[in-house]
Amino acid sequence: MKKRMLTYLDYLEKIDYQHLTEEEKEKLGKEILVQTIFFAHERMIHLIVTCLFAILAIMVLIAFTVTENIAFIPLFFLLMVLLVPYIMHYYLLENGTQKIYTYYDKIAGDFMDAHK
C-alpha cells in the first residue's frame, strides 16, 4: 500500500491542473474520489490495528507491573516491534490521504467556481 500511495501522489503531483478542460477535471475528480475511498478504508483498518496493538502493549506493561512476571517483558517488546511499523505506515496513509484531499479541492474548487 505504501508503494501505491506514493505512486498515486506522484501521479497527482505531475498533473498540470491549470490546463485541464472541464471534462478532464470532472473525470479526474471522480478518479480521485474513488482512490480516496480505497485509501480511507485502508487507513481505517490500520487505525484499528494500530490502536489494538497499542492497547495490548499497555495491558502487557500493566500486567508486568502488577505481577512482576518477567515473561511479560519479551511479549511487550514483541508488541512494540510490531507497533512501531504500524504507526509509521498509518502516518503515511493519514498524511497521504490528507494530501489527496488537497488535490481534489484544487479540482472541485475550480469546477465549483466555474458552475456558480
Choose among 100, 88, 92: nearest CA to 37.
100
For 94, the enclosing helix (H) or strand (E) is helix 72-114
**pLDDT score for 113:** 54
Provide the b/e sequence for 5-36 (b: ≥16 CB within 10 Å).
Answer: beebbeebeeeeeeebeeeebeebbeebeebb
DSSP per-residue string spanning 18-57: GG--HHHHHHHHHHHHHHHHHHHHHHHHHHHHHHHHHHHH
pLDDT tens profile 36-94: 999 999 999 999 999 999 999 999 999 999 999 999 999 999 999 999 999 999 999 99
Residue 69 DSSP one-character state: -
Q: pTM for the complete prediction?
A: 0.76
